[in-house]
Amino acid sequence: MLDYHTLLARLGEGSAHPGGFQATKELIGQIGFPRGTKVLEVGCGTGRTACYLASLGCNVTAIDRNEDMIQKAIYRAKISEFPVRIVQADAASMPFPDETFDAVFTESVTAFTQGSSAIREYWRVLKPKGVLYDRELAFAMKLTTVQKKKLQSFYGLQHLRTVPEWLKLMSKSSFHKYSASQFSQMKQLMSDNDPLRVIDHELFTKPDVVAMMMKNERLMSNFSKVMGSVVITAWKA
Q: Does 119 bind ligand SAM (CB under 6 A)?
A: no
52: Cβ–Cβ under 8 A, 6 or more apart, which residues? Answer: 21, 24, 25, 28
The piece of 27-35, 86-94, 184-192, 220-228 that touches ligand SAM (CB under 6 A) is: 86-94
**Is 87 among the residues that bind ligand SAM (CB under 6 A)?**
no
CA distance 47 to 13: 10
Tell me which stretch binds ligand SAM (CB under 6 A): 88-96, 119-127, 161-169, 209-217: 88-96
95 Cβ contact partners less than 8 Å away, ≥ 6 residues apart: 87, 89
CB of 166 to ligand SAM, least distance (A): 16
70, 86 in Cβ contact below 8 A?
yes
* Of 176 and 221, CB closest to ligand SAM: 221
| Choice from 109, 151, 163, 227 touching ligand SAM (CB under 6 A) | 109
15 binds ligand SAM (CB under 6 A): yes
Selected from 17, 72, 76, 161, the binder of ligand SAM by CB under 6 A is 17
Question: Closest separation between CB of residue 79 and ligand SAM, Å?
Answer: 17
Q: For ligand SAM, which is the closer residue by CB, 27 or 234? A: 27
CB of 161 to ligand SAM, least distance (A): 15
Using CB under 6 A as the binding rule, whether residue 91 contacts ligand SAM is answered as: yes
For ligand SAM, which residue of 107, 121, 134, 136 counts as binding (CB under 6 A)? 107
Q: Kindly state the smallest distance separating residue 154's Cβ from ligand SAM, in Å.
A: 12
State in Å, rounded, how far the first CA of the chain is from the last one: 44
The three-point CA angle 224-191-89 to 5° equals 80
Name residues contacting ligand SAM, limited to 38-77 (CB under 6 A): 43, 45, 63-66, 69
β-strand pairing of 101-107 with 184-185 = unpaired
- Residues near ligand SAM (CB under 6 A) are 5, 8, 15-17, 43, 45, 63-66, 69, 90-92, 107-109, 112-113
